[in-house]
């Protein structure tokens, strides 16, 4: 007889991937338990009222890459899924001008032409190129990659099918894809654009979350990855979920529970229990044990393989691969409760503040910000991806007030001098000073400030070294190799133990695919076992 | 010459797109600023303010007003007490729908009937011999729809009288010095109100409303946003989902209340002793089961929608812009069994939806149909399913 602590499946970690995975398993009829260490589900996708009436998206702050299949399959609209439109993009230049883009293609042409007629239609051409590459690569991102180490004829056939698929693509699209996958964001953008502001604005997507500068090889991949999002049929477009990404993960939790999953908060898992090389359950830090033949880790690869189980239970190659898997977080958040919307000289109203605010006016600016990080310092003049979220969702702040999320780069996890606990406020001051330059009087509006360093991300959410993607988006850590060759299909060497975090294919950015694909593998394996 | 609504001094300032449509002879903003989708989400997440002044408004009063309307309107007006409102239709003798509209009962013998088309001659003709006065006040009354979850919170700050009125109820109120009527009605399927105001007071009401509403993220919303919400709400639109029998050329263009999904209005015919226009025909239609259509929702299968576009190497479109064409519906034997004239992508349902007319045997929710779409100049079939209306029906609409 099953006892109260017996489940069919246990998911460790109630971040978005854990919730998605648990929801799919529960939907398939498994008695599923999702264990979350903190008092709140969501992992790095949470919203917290840190100052009365102000909702802070402490970590992750917008939605784009979430796969639409998940919206439908988990029936998220039933549970309050509301992807609000972000109609503007605002990028101040260093000389007090700005690039202010909206949703009208032709209005945007004129706005870009104000800076350079050349860059206006170049932007259309660039957008078309990116969409074509994204469309071409989509089937690869939206499926489980083959196991490159396998001799299994089926896996070999899948490898060959990928080769064939790529060979059948229009040569131009394939070439552009390779340029993006292997080159730098700067290489691509300098080819298309002549102005600093266009290059800088677009290059920011090539550095987010990653220890690369826009001129580093590999930033092209990051740029492509961020264009892979889709909002209501439009590639590379972002939305703001009602209530922030915490609002989104609450929707996921309701969906998971509606399918029958049980969510247990404040339940930190100490280790995965195994017997004879297979998973049998988990033990919490307080000693409580739960048993299940399927245990899924939604944590990052380091925690999945080096902490929840004994590395000596694992093949040496895998342990070595995980040891050299790069995290090296470089991103921070500085979030503000504001007394009112800040004012940009010469602009009235809030239309320009209804989307992302991009502080990264040129490739040089971004590259110099990166230079600091290379030598173990946080950027003196950081890249900021800001968003005054209360202008999109009024429930984020009291009427007339504003809440502002600022994603900040670069802030290396490993500081050469000092430690994050000491310099946390220095980072906050640096960001605030930069915002004062852009919005004169900004500091006078600040009611509350939250500074979240890579160390805080690691401590609070558990993401190793504060890497927001649960591991860098570097080519050797993607697709066949995420998180390690031979272990890219959500299984682990321990039978019944699976991985479903963003450290697996296709990766992070609140995409949800790792959780979904892992459920396919688990359910497929269970079906085979039942035979 | 095209006319301006009483709110035009403000709507023309607010409309930065230069996009206006002509609605019943008035300029009506298509969208105000950079994104109609943002206006749509304001309605669903905060509130949108829509200038609905181009509606026709008829004030009907007099000793026989109730008697008159009992005979004119298909739905029993006697059940609409003072302080209440009704959505209603009116038919001709053959039981074909002439029009639909909302009627507010301001007192025992005074009503305000809003219609989409001009009706003065028709209404007057039916009033012969009765003590009833019908006055076209269309140009005299401005109408402002405040629709969305924050509608009550913002409106109650300038017109506390409306705070507690129920769904489809009406109250007189004061906004500043202006005497207004506020009804809890609308065309969005959300929590919403309409403010009926004398044209001279319109701008003042607008200003007072936005003074309190703007900090809540409440913004003016245009026609595009409104027409998305009305499809999600399953509310039909004249000359799109049906045509007035008054101007139809043949019965294919006409429809009965039952065919338009209004059967609920005449559920109580057995205990209803009115002799309203079209009653006999409707009774015959019910008795003989001669309805040709049912009005239902259709929802495209998302996987199939993606498939037909992906197979052509295209990004599956998800366009919320209302397209008022006719997309045909077929059954499994490829027989055309209906059509949807109101098909779009719903941002809140995250699905392609449409208000459709289908043959009665295909009207059961869950019935599998095929929806015809045109892709790169070729017809394709997409799997679709019959659903109940409305698509979107949040608890706060009636709470």
Average confidence score pLDDT of chain A: 97
- Give A321's contacts (C-beta < 8 A, 6+ positions apart): A483, A484, A485, A487
Residue in chain A nearest B348 by alpha carbon: A82
- Give B125's contacts (C-beta < 8 A, 6+ positions apart): none
CB atoms under 10 Å from CB of B384, counted, come to 29
Q: Is the predicted pLDDT of residue A2 greater than 90, yes or no?
A: no
Say if the Cβ atoms of B41 and A85 lie within 8 Å. Answer: yes
The pLDDT, as a whole number, for residue A67 is 96
Say if the Cβ atoms of A232 and B318 lie within 8 Å. Answer: yes
Which pLDDT band, with edges at 50, 70 and 90, does A531 fall under? confident
Helix then strand then coil, % of chain B, to nearest 5:
30, 30, 40
A408 forms beta bridges with A332, A384
For residues A317-345, average pLDDT: 97
The pLDDT, as a whole number, for residue A521 is 98
Residue A437 DSSP SS3: helix
The beta-carbon neighbor of B318 closest among A102, A104, A233 is A233
How many CA atoms does the CB half-sphere of A91 hold within 13 Å? Answer: 23
State whether the Cα torsion B336-B339-B343-B346 is positive or negative: negative
B84 forms beta bridges with B169
Q: Which residue's structure tokens are 């189980």?
A: A309
Name every chain B residue with its beta carbon within 8 A of the beta carbon of A82.
Answer: 41, 44-45, 348
* Burial of B12: CB neighbours in 10 Å, binned 0-12, 13-18, 19+: middle
* Burial of B185: CB neighbours in 10 Å, binned 0-12, 13-18, 19+: buried
The torsion defined by the Cα of A49, B220, B188 and B340, in degrees rounded to 10, comes to -120
Mutate to test the interface with A, among B35, B44, B309, B390 (most CBs of A within 10 A): B35
| DSSP at A472 | -
Alpha carbon distance A381, A345 (integer Å):
20
* CA-based nearest distance A297→chain B, Å: 29
Alpha carbon distance A252, A24 (integer Å):
11
Name every chain A residue with its beta carbon within 8 A of the beta carbon of B37.
Answer: 85, 87, 103, 232
Name every chain A residue with its beta carbon within 8 A of the beta carbon of B303.
Answer: 72
* B307 part of contact set with chain A, CB < 8 Å: no
Phi/psi of residue A375, each to 5°?
Answer: -105, 20
Per-residue model confidence as pLDDT tens digits over A238-262: 999 999 999 999 999 999 999 999 9
The torsion defined by the Cα of B194, B197, B203 and B206, in degrees rounded to 10, comes to -30
| DSSP at A147 | -
Name the strand (E) or helix (H) holding A322.
helix A316-324
Residue A50 DSSP SS3: strand
The pLDDT, as a whole number, for residue A93 is 97
What is the rounded end-to-end Cα distance, in angstroms, of chain B?
Answer: 43
Name every chain A residue with its beta carbon within 8 A of the beta carbon of B216.
Answer: 394, 399
Q: Rounded to the nearest 10 degrees, what angle do helices A171-182 and A117-141 cross at? A: 90
* CA-based nearest distance B46→chain A, Å: 7
For residues A285 and A268, the answer to whether their CB atoms sit within 8 Å is yes
Q: Rounded to the nearest 10 degrees, what angle do helices A219-227 and A171-182 cross at? A: 120
A284 forms beta bridges with A269
The beta-carbon neighbor of A87 closest among B35, B44, B303 is B35
Say if the Cβ atoms of A394 and B33 lie within 8 Å. Answer: no
Name every chain A residue with its beta carbon within 8 A of the beta carbon of B309.
Answer: none
Per-residue model confidence as pLDDT tens digits over B293-308: 999 999 999 999 999 9
For residues B30-54, average pLDDT: 97
Alpha carbon distance A307, A55 (integer Å):
33
Please choose, from the candidates A249, A282, A330, A287, the residue with its C-alpha nearest in 3D space to the C-alpha of residue A70.
A249
Alpha carbon distance A145, B293 (integer Å):
49
Name every chain A residue with its beta carbon within 8 A of the beta carbon of B317.
Answer: 233
Q: Is the predicted pLDDT of residue A219 greater than 90, yes or no?
A: yes
Mutate to test the interface with B, among A108, A242, A340, A399 (most CBs of B within 10 A): A399
Residue A90 DSSP SS3: strand
Which pLDDT band, with edges at 50, 70 and 90, does B346 fall under? very high
Please choose, from the candidates A350, A507, A339, A330, the residue with its C-alpha nearest in 3D space to the C-alpha of residue A407.
A330
* Burial of B388: CB neighbours in 10 Å, binned 0-12, 13-18, 19+: exposed
For residues A318-340, average pLDDT: 98
Output the six-digit token pair for B302. 């998302």
Name every chain B residue with its beta carbon within 8 A of the beta carbon of A104.
Answer: 17, 34
What does pTM read for this prediction?
A: 0.97
Q: Write the DSSP assignment of A277-318 as a string of letters.
A: TEEEEEEETTS-EEE-SEEEE-S-HHIIIIISS-GGGS-HHH
Mutate to test the interface with A, among B41, B213, B303 (most CBs of A within 10 A): B41
Per-residue model confidence as pLDDT tens digits over A377-407: 999 999 999 999 999 999 999 999 999 999 9
The pLDDT, as a whole number, for residue B54 is 98
For residues A403 and A338, the answer to whether their CB atoms sit within 8 Å is yes
* CA-based nearest distance A69→chain B, Å: 8
Q: Is the predicted pLDDT of residue A339 greater than 60, yes or no?
A: yes
Alpha carbon distance B236, B378 (integer Å):
29
Which pLDDT band, with edges at 50, 70 and 90, does A344 fall under? very high
For residues A204-226, average pLDDT: 97
* CA-based nearest distance A399→chain B, Å: 5
* B62 part of contact set with chain A, CB < 8 Å: no
Phi/psi of residue B358, each to 5°?
Answer: -130, 160
Query: Nearest-5° angle of CA B182, CA B184, CA B185?
Result: 110
**Residue B276 to residues A22, A434, B75, B102, B280: CA-CA distances in angstroms?**
58, 72, 9, 17, 9
Alpha carbon distance B317, B82 (integer Å):
47
Phi/psi of residue B36, each to 5°?
Answer: -70, -25
The beta-carbon neighbor of B38 closest among A87, A104, A135 is A87
Is residue A369 reached through a cis peptide bond, with omega within 30 degrees of 0 on the bond before it? no
Per-residue model confidence as pLDDT tens digits over A133-171: 999 999 999 999 999 999 999 999 999 999 999 999 999
Average confidence score pLDDT of chain B: 97
Helical H runs in A350-390? Answer: 363-374
* CA-based nearest distance A233→chain B, Å: 5
* CA-based nearest distance B197→chain A, Å: 27
Name every chain B residue with its beta carbon within 8 A of the beta carbon of A72.
Answer: 302-303, 350-351
Q: Is the predicted pLDDT of residue A4 greater than 90, yes or no?
A: no
Output the six-digit token pair for B372. 């015809």
Which pLDDT band, with edges at 50, 70 and 90, does A493 fall under? very high
Pairing of strands A54-56, A48-51: antiparallel
Pairing of strands B170-175, B141-147: unpaired
For residues B304-318, average pLDDT: 96
For residues A384 and A407, the answer to whether their CB atoms sit within 8 Å is yes
Name every chain A residue with its beta carbon within 8 A of the beta carbon of B348.
Answer: 77, 82
Per-residue model confidence as pLDDT tens digits over A349-375: 999 999 999 999 999 999 999 999 999
Q: Buried (b) or exposed (e) across A279-314, using 16+ Cβ within 10 A?
A: bbbbebeeeeebbbbbbbbbbbbbbbbbbbbeeeeb
Residue in chain A nearest B305 by alpha carbon: A233
CB atoms under 10 Å from CB of A36, counted, come to 25
Say if the Cβ atoms of B350 and A68 lie within 8 Å. Answer: yes
Name every chain B residue with its beta carbon within 8 A of the beta carbon of A103.
Answer: 34-35, 37-38
Say if the Cβ atoms of A351 and B33 lie within 8 Å. Answer: yes
* CA-based nearest distance A224→chain B, Å: 17
Say if the Cβ atoms of B350 and A72 lie within 8 Å. Answer: yes
Say if the Cβ atoms of A233 and B316 lie within 8 Å. Answer: yes
Pairing of strands B85-91, B56-61: unpaired
Which pLDDT band, with edges at 50, 70 and 90, does B324 fall under? confident
For residues B194 and B182, the answer to whether their CB atoms sit within 8 Å is yes
Alpha carbon distance B295, B282 (integer Å):
16
Which pLDDT band, with edges at 50, 70 and 90, does B313 fall under? very high
For residues A469-495, average pLDDT: 97
Name every chain A residue with its beta carbon within 8 A of the beta carbon of B38.
Answer: 85, 87, 103, 354
Please choose, from the candidates B105, B95, B179, B99, the residue with its C-alpha nearest in 3D space to the C-alpha of residue B142.
B179
Say if the Cβ atoms of A233 and B315 lie within 8 Å. Answer: yes
For residues A211-224, average pLDDT: 97
* CA-based nearest distance A395→chain B, Å: 8
Q: What percent of chain A has pLDDT over 70?
A: 99
Residues 85-114 of B with CB under 8 A from A: none
For residues B319-334, average pLDDT: 91
Is residue B390 reached through a cis peptide bond, with omega within 30 degrees of 0 on the bond before it? yes
Alpha carbon distance B363, B236 (integer Å):
17
For residues B309 and B303, the answer to whether their CB atoms sit within 8 Å is no
* CA-based nearest distance B166→chain A, Å: 24
Say if the Cβ atoms of A72 and B46 lie within 8 Å. Answer: no
Alpha carbon distance A141, A505 (integer Å):
8
Name the strand (E) or helix (H) holding B179.
strand B178-183
For residues B327-355, average pLDDT: 97
* B395 part of contact set with chain A, CB < 8 Å: no
The beta-carbon neighbor of A81 closest among B217, B313, B350 is B350
Helical H runs in A183-303? Answer: 185-192, 196-203, 219-227, 244-258, 301-302
B60 forms beta bridges with B111, B134
User: How many beta-carbon pairs under 8 angstroms link A with B?
Assistant: 78
Alpha carbon distance A81, A70 (integer Å):
11
Strands of A294-297's sheet in order across: A262-264, A32-35, A9-12, A294-297, A497-499
Output the six-digit token pair for B289. 């089961």
Which pLDDT band, with edges at 50, 70 and 90, does B34 fall under? confident
| DSSP at A59 | S
Per-residue model confidence as pLDDT tens digits over B166-197: 999 999 999 999 999 999 999 999 999 999 99
């Amino acid at each position: 007889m099953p006892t109260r602590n017996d489940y069919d499946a246990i998911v460790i970690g109630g971040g978005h991937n854990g919730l998605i995975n648990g929801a799919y398993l529960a939907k398939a009829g498994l008695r599923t338990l999702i264990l979350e260490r903190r008092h709140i589900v969501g992992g790095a996708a949470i919203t917290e009222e840190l100052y009365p009436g102000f909702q802070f998206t402490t970590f992750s702050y917008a939605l784009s890459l979430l796969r639409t299949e998940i919206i439908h399959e988990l029936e998220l609209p039933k549970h309050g899924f509301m992807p609000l439109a972000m109609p503007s993009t605002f990028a101040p230049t260093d000389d007090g001008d700005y690039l202010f883009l909206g949703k009208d293609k032709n209005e945007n042409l004129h706005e870009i032409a104000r800076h350079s007629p050349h860059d206006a239609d170049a932007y259309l051409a660039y957008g078309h190129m990116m969409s074509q590459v994204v469309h071409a690569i989509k089937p690869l991102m939206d499926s489980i990659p083959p196991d490159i180490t396998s001799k299994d004829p089926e896996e070999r056939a899948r490898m060959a099918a990928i080769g064939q698929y790529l060979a059948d693509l229009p040569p131009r699209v394939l070439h552009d894809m390779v340029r993006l996958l292997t080159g730098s964001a700067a290489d691509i953008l300098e080819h298309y654009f002549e102005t600093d502001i266009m290059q800088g604005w677009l290059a920011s997507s090539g550095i987010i979350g990653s220890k690369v500068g826009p001129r580093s090889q590999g930033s092209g991949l990051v740029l492509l990855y961020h264009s892979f999002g889709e909002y209501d049929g439009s590639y590379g477009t972002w939305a703001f979920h009602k209530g922030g990404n915490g609002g989104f993960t609450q929707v996921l939790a309701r969906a998971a529970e509606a399918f029958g999953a049980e969510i247990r908060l404040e339940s930190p898992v100490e280790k995965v229990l195994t017997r004879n090389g297979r998973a049998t359950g988990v033990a919490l830090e307080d000693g409580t044990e739960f048993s299940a033949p399927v245990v899924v880790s939604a944590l990052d690869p380091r925690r999945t393989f080096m902490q929840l189980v004994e590395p000596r239970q694992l093949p040496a190659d895998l342990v070595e691969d995980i040891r050299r898997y790069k995290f090296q977080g470089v991103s921070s958040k500085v979030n503000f409760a504001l007394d009112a919307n800040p004012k940009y000289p010469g602009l009235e109203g809030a239309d320009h503040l209804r989307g992302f605010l991009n502080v990264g006016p040129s490739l040089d600016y971004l590259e110099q910000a990166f230079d600091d990080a290379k030598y173990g310092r946080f950027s003196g003049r950081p890249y900021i991806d800001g968003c005054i979220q209360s202008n999109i969702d009024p429930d984020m702040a009291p009427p007339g007030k504003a809440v502002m999320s600022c994603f900040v780069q670069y802030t290396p996890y490993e500081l050469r001098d000092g430690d994050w606990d000491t310099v946390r406020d220095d980072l906050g001051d640096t960001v605030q000073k930069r915002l004062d330059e852009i919005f004169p009087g900004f500091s006078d509006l600040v009611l509350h400030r939250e500074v979240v360093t890579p160390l805080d991300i690691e401590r609070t959410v558990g993401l190793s070294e504060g890497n927001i993607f649960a591991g860098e988006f570097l080519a050797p850590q993607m697709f066949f190799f995420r998180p390690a060759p031979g272990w890219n299909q959500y299984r682990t060497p321990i039978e019944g133990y699976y991985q479903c975090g963003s450290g697996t294919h296709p990766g992070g950015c609140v995409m949800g695919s790792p959780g979904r694909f892992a459920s396919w593998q688990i359910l497929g394996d269970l079906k085979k076992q039942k035979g | 010459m095209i006319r301006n609504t009483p709110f035009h001094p403000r709507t023309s300032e607010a409309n930065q797109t230069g996009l206006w449509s002509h609605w019943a002879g008035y300029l009506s903003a298509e969208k105000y600023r950079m994104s109609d989708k943002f206006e749509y989400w304001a309605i669903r997440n905060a509130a949108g303010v829509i200038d609905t002044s181009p509606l026709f408004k008829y004030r009907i009063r007099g000793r026989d007003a109730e008697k008159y309307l009992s005979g004119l309107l298909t739905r029993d007006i006697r059940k609409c007490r003072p302080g209440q409102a009704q959505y209603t239709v009116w038919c001709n003798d053959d039981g074909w729908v002439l029009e639909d509209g909302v009627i507010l009962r301001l007192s025992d013998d005074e009503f305000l009937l809003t219609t989409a088309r001009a009706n003065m001659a028709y209404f007057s003709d039916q009033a012969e011999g009765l003590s009833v006065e019908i006055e076209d006040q269309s140009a005299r009354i401005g109408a402002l729809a405040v629709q969305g979850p924050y509608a009550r919170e913002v409106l109650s700050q300038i017109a506390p009288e409306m705070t507690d009125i129920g769904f489809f109820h009406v109250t007189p109120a004061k906004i500043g010095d202006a005497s207004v009527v506020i009804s809890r009605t609308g065309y969005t399927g959300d929590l919403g109100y309409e403010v009926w105001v004398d044209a001279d007071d319109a701008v003042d009401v607008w200003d007072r409303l936005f003074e309190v509403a703007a900090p809540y993220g409440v913004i003016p919303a245009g026609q595009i946003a409104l027409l998305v919400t009305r499809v999600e709400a399953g509310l039909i639109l004249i000359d799109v989902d049906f045509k007035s029998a008054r101007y139809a050329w043949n019965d294919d263009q006409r429809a009965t209340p039952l065919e338009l999904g209004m059967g609920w209005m005449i559920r109580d015919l057995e205990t209803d002793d009115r002799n309203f226009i079209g009653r006999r025909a409707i009774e015959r239609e019910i008795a003989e089961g001669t309805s040709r259509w049912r009005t239902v929702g259709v929802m495209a299968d998302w996987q199939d929608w993606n498939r037909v576009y992906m197979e052509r190497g295209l990004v599956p479109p998800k366009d919320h812009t209302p397209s008022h064409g006719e997309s045909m519906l077929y059954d499994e034997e490829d027989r055309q069994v209906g059509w949807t004239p109101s098909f779009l992508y719903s941002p809140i349902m995250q699905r392609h939806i449409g208000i459709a007319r289908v043959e009665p045997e295909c009207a059961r929710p869950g019935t599998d149909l095929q929806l015809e779409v045109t892709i790169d100049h070729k017809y394709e079939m997409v799997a679709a399913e019959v659903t109940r209306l409305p698509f979107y029906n949040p608890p706060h609409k009636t709470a």
